Chains A and B, each alone.
Chain A
Amino acid sequence: MTDPIIIDMGIVALTGALATIGGAAEDLESDVGSQSNPNSQVQLAAQMDFPHRIFNKAISGEPPAYGLWCASSAVVAAVLLESMSVFFALAIGSLVGAILLGMFSVTAHMGRTASQSRFKQPLYMDMVIGHVPAIMAHGYVAVFCIISFSYIMNTIMGHPFPLPLLALFWGVTAGAIGSSTGDVHYGAEREFQNQPFGCGLNASFSGNIVRKGEVGLRNGMDNVWACAKFGGPVTGLALGLTVFLDNWRSTIFTGDNAEWFAIIAGLIIVVVLILLNRIVELNGRKAYGPYKDEEEGGATA
């Protein structure tokens, strides 16, 4: 007979895999719509006389927004679970979450663009029609993955919280990780890729984002294409590791004092991650150093 720990580890791996895909989709969704970190420069661009065709949406910060999509999807799934199979309940629940995301995206983009009329930023309706389905599609994958691993934690791992509450917490976590990890790739690099890498953002460049694409004018689709190469996967890795390591440490130990071993393992993981982060930061500083003026070989201001 198979050792139960092997099945438990398989379930832990499954939650990690779902979180990895969900995290990547979450970040890419926010890149299509320029939510969170890159949003301030997209918002500023029109005000600095740089009108653009980049989708501008902000939905009250990515963590609360993802909390809402996931909690709503989980509520619908929890109601449908009374009379439906798990797979269909989660799929239909996620669809409702994705539609909700689409509804909020439309008001966010149209509202912000209309509030910039004195800067003559037009509201292009083809952008709304073109971008919102892509936002909803990425959002669907993200929400489906997040509520799926929340469901696994609730029913198979025996987490005491009900499904909507777990989905809310993991939605907020996914939004926070996407906002702080992957979005920086778009906000700091993709928006300013005409500047030398690592030069920092001079105040006089505020709002002067890249507005022309490889072909034609740059839009959200061009940005998600670029961010899918690094920002998206790295967000997926971060959320996947968070979910995997957290579930691993609470599953691997059995017997007496298992909870204490889990707490100690958690502390060790946190210390190791802090040390690794510090090493990465030091290497980055060594490689790129402080900001240099033009005559010293730095960026033009």
Chain B
Amino acid sequence: MSAVEGGPAGGGISATNVAILGIVGGLVGIYLASILNDITATTYFSFFGGIGAILAGVWGADAVRRVCSYGLGTGVPSIGMVALGMGIVAAIFGLALCYVINIPVVLGPIIAFIVAAIIGLIMGTMANKILNMNIPIMERCMVEIAGAGCLVMIALCVTISGTLVFESHVATDITILTSVVQTGFIALIFIGGAMIILHPFNACLGPDESQDRTLYVGVEKGGIIMALSGVASLMVLGVIPAALTIVIGLLIWIVYFTKFINLTKRDAHKVIGTGLLPTEEELQ
């Protein structure tokens, strides 16, 4: 399907600013959740992970928007799933490496992010040079989607488990391995994180797509996935931390869904209750 006109996507916020928001916001969310939980010896601050996931997801959605505006229609999910596959491999690699070579867990997200960026660069180069896709910003966008995907996965892992520790020698400790991987919640993190990044542009695809409306869908979907991660954390962290994540996620969803509806009314040709199709004259 080539429903979009090929060419660079415009928008109010520059690609670099969205990237800074995603990287800084994503990492700050992950670290705030993990460090505040450690300092206070509670798990109440896990919801910061969800907020980090939303910010990183919005960055990923903007990268998808930029690369897919070059005429990729059905390619939107394909390109995203490749990048997010790289993202989750890098996320697990970075977090597990800290346990294997015994270094502080706070280095995990940064190692994972760098690994995701390197794999993204290799995939982007292969797509352009070997598959001859010849999209000018392909390499950069693949790095961005893989990096954003990696941060979203780690942030959602922290939301559910409340910690950055991948595995522990103490059997009773809550770790990402026991609370996210073995329970199967990683399935939700993978596909939910992917949808925060893939759905916004796919939902708003068309020649009159606008950046603010697309990114609001990203924030709004991020809120829903955050709330679902809160439901999963009920089994791991208990009622109060889970309730905090669920309530904050739903509030974000309500606020940004309302904003999305308002922008839809702004951008649509006309929003009507019901009616017949436009006549030939009206179409001229």
Please report A residues at the B interface, Cβ cutoff 8 Å.
39-40, 43-44, 47, 49, 51-53, 58-61, 64-65, 67-68, 71-72, 74-76, 78-79, 82, 96, 100, 103-104, 107-108, 110-126, 161-168, 211, 217
Q: State whether A64 touches B81 (Cβ < 8 A).
A: yes
Q: State whether B191 touches A67 (Cβ < 8 A).
A: yes
Q: State whether A115 touches B204 (Cβ < 8 A).
A: yes
Query: Which of the residues A47, A78, A113, A124 comes within 8 Å of B184, measured between beta carbons?
Result: A78
List A contacts of B1 (CB < 8 A): 39-40, 43-44
Answer yes or no: B76 CB below 8 A from chain A CBs.
yes
Apart from the given pairs A115-B208, A126-B274, 14 other A-B contacts in the complex at a CB distance below 8 Å: A43-B205, A49-B283, A60-B80, A64-B198, A75-B231, A112-B204, A114-B263, A115-B210, A123-B270, A123-B272, A125-B271, A164-B187, A166-B184, A168-B188
26 contacts across the A-B interface (CB closer than 8 A): A40-B1, A43-B1, A58-B202, A59-B195, A59-B199, A60-B76, A60-B194, A61-B76, A61-B78, A71-B191, A72-B188, A107-B220, A111-B217, A111-B264, A112-B203, A115-B204, A115-B209, A115-B267, A120-B269, A122-B271, A123-B270, A123-B272, A125-B272, A125-B274, A161-B184, A217-B276
Q: Roughly how many angstroms separate A94 CA and B264 CA in the complex, as a whole number?
A: 29
Give the shortest distance, in Å, between A147 (CB) and chain B (any CB).
12
Give the shortest distance, in Å, between B279 (CB) and chain A (any CB).
10
Q: Roughly how many angstroms separate A126 CA and B260 CA in the complex, as a whole number?
A: 18
Q: Roughly how many angstroms separate A121 CA and B207 CA in the complex, as a whole number?
A: 12
Query: Which of the residues B195, B198, B275 comes within 8 Å of A122, measured between beta carbons?
Result: B275
- Shortest 4 CB-CB contacts between residues of A and residues of B: A115-B206, A162-B184, A61-B77, A40-B1
Q: Mark B164-204, 1 if CB is under 8 A from A, else 0.
A: 00000000000000000011111110111011001100111
Q: State whether A168 touches B277 (Cβ < 8 A).
A: no
Query: Which of the residues B73, B77, B188, B207 comes within 8 Å of A164, measured between beta carbons?
Result: B188
Answer yes or no: B13 CB below 8 A from chain A CBs.
no
Count chain B residues whose beta carbon lies closer than 8 angstroms to a beta carbon of A.
62
Known: A51-B277, A68-B195. A75 touches B77 (CB 8 A): no
Q: State whether A75 touches B232 (Cβ < 8 A).
A: yes
Q: Mark B195-238, 1 if CB is under 8 A from A, else 0.
A: 10011001111111110011001001100100010011011000
List A contacts of B74 (CB < 8 A): 40, 61
Q: Which residue in chain A gives the minimum CB-CB distance to B280?
A: A49
- CB contacts under 8 Å to A, within B1-20, are 1, 3
Known: A44-B3, A68-B191. A60 touches B202 (CB 8 A): yes
List A contacts of B213 (CB < 8 A): 111, 114
Q: Which residue in chain A gives the minimum CB-CB distance to B207?
A: A118
Known: A72-B192, A125-B273. A110 touches B261 (CB 8 A): yes
Q: State whether A117 touches B277 (Cβ < 8 A).
A: no
List A contacts of B221 (CB < 8 A): 104, 107
Q: State whether B269 touches A64 (Cβ < 8 A).
A: no
- CB contacts under 8 Å to A, within B243-284, are 257, 260-261, 263-264, 267-278, 282-283
The residue in B81, B188, B257, B267 that gathers the most chain A C-beta atoms within 10 A of its C-beta is B188
Q: Roughly how many angstroms separate A71 CA and B182 CA in the complex, as a whole number?
A: 14
Q: Roughly how many angstroms separate A75 CA and B233 CA in the complex, as a whole number?
A: 10
List B contacts of A51 (CB < 8 A): 277-278, 283
Q: State whether A122 touches B278 (Cβ < 8 A).
A: yes
List A contacts of B188 (CB < 8 A): 71-72, 75, 164, 168
Q: Roughly how many angstroms separate A119 CA and B185 CA in the complex, as a whole number?
A: 43
Give the shortest distance, in Å, between A67 (CB) and chain B (any CB).
5
List B contacts of A67 (CB < 8 A): 187, 191
List A contacts of B217 (CB < 8 A): 107, 111
Q: State whether B283 touches A59 (Cβ < 8 A).
A: no
Q: Which residue in chain B gives the minimum CB-CB distance to A161?
A: B184
Query: Which of the residues A117, A167, A217 comes within 8 Å of B268, measured between beta carbons?
Result: A117
Q: Mark B54-88, 1 if CB is under 8 A from A, else 0.
A: 00000000000000000001101110110000000
Known: A47-B3, A104-B199, A126-B274. A114 touches B267 (CB 8 A): yes
Q: Roughly how many angstroms separate A112 CA and B195 CA in the complex, as a whole number?
A: 17
List B contacts of A164 (CB < 8 A): 183-188
List B contacts of A167 (CB < 8 A): 187
Q: State whether A76 touches B231 (Cβ < 8 A).
A: yes
Q: Which residue in chain B gives the minimum CB-CB distance to A167?
A: B187
The residue in B3, B190, B271 that gathers the most chain A C-beta atoms within 10 A of its C-beta is B3
List B contacts of A60 (CB < 8 A): 76-77, 80, 194-195, 198-199, 202
